[in-house]
Amino acid sequence: MVERLRDRTGRASRGTAARLAGLTLTATLLTAAPAAADFRLCNNTGSRVGISLGYKDSDGWTTEGWWNLSARSCDTLLKGALVARFYYIYAIDYDRGGEWSGKAFMCTRDKEFTIRGIEDCLARGFDRTGFFEVDTGEQRSWTVQLTESTEQVPQRPLPQYSPLIPSPPASAQQAPAQPKPPAR
């Protein structure tokens, strides 16, 4: 269930590459009943996540946040037919750190917000946050899936290297040399 937050808590550090490494995004169009037309988000991770959404409507650019989405749950962020082809998401992992972000910069703040316009975020007293783009292909409804990365190569120690030294042929093998006694 998505719950709109009054305060954003558990904020991950932006720009921490190590925390970003385990997070990926998958966007999927789900077939829905003909009457349904919504923008949904599913959290397929084991963590709680905070969601911020950006979009352009007839009045211009808007960003909204925060929604708190429980682990392994889905809910609707915008109800009704989609008004734009492109939507923008910024999400943070409250429990393990990390974020889902991108290069589309929009305005956010730590507390619940609806912000008109994406220009001069800092000058207007907001944070400037990188969102990732979701192309809905002008569908009437769309679902975004937030997932944990399963494509990482497991870290295993390298096998011990022991060069293969061929043994001499049996006819050439000799008894090991005896050590010389110490000189007196």
pLDDT digit string (tens) for 116-161?
999 999 999 999 999 999 999 988 899 999 998 643 333 333 333 3
Q: What pLDDT sits at residue 149?
A: 66
pLDDT digit string (tens) for 59-89?
999 999 999 999 999 989 999 989 899 999 9
Asked whether residue 160 is domain-assigned, the answer is no
pLDDT at position 181 over 80: no
**DSSP per residue over 146-168, as a string?**
EEE---SPP--PPPPP----PPP
Q: What pLDDT sits at residue 54?
A: 97
How high is the mean pLDDT of the chain? 74
Q: How many domains does the chain have?
A: 1
Determine the average pLDDT of the residues in 165-169.
43
Q: What pLDDT sits at residue 27?
A: 38
d(CA 26, CA 3) in angstroms, rounded, equals 22
The pair of three-digit structure tokens given for residue 80, joined into one six-digit string:
């009704």
Tracing tokens 């109800």 back to the chain, one arrives at: 79
Domain ranges, residue 133: 2-152
For the chain, the 3-state helix, strand and coil shares in percent, each to the nearest 5, are: 5, 40, 55
Show Cβ contacts of residue 34 under 8 Å, excluding neighbours closer than 6 positions.
none
- CA 60 to the chain's CA centroid: 27
Percentage of the chain lying above the pLDDT 70 cut:
61
Cα torsion through 73, 78, 82, 86, rounded to 10: -80
Instruction: Look at the pTM and tell me if it is higher than 0.85.
Output: no
Cβ(51)–Cβ(8) below 8 Å: no
Cβ(85)–Cβ(57) below 8 Å: no
Asked whether residue 179 is domain-assigned, the answer is no
List alpha helices for the chain, DSSP H: 17-20
Q: Are strands 38-43 and 142-148 parallel, antiparallel or unpaired?
A: parallel
Q: What pLDDT sits at residue 36?
A: 64
Asked whether residue 77 is domain-assigned, the answer is yes
Q: What pLDDT sits at residue 37?
A: 80
- pLDDT higher at 171 or 52: 52
Phi, psi of 20 (to 5 degrees): -80, -25
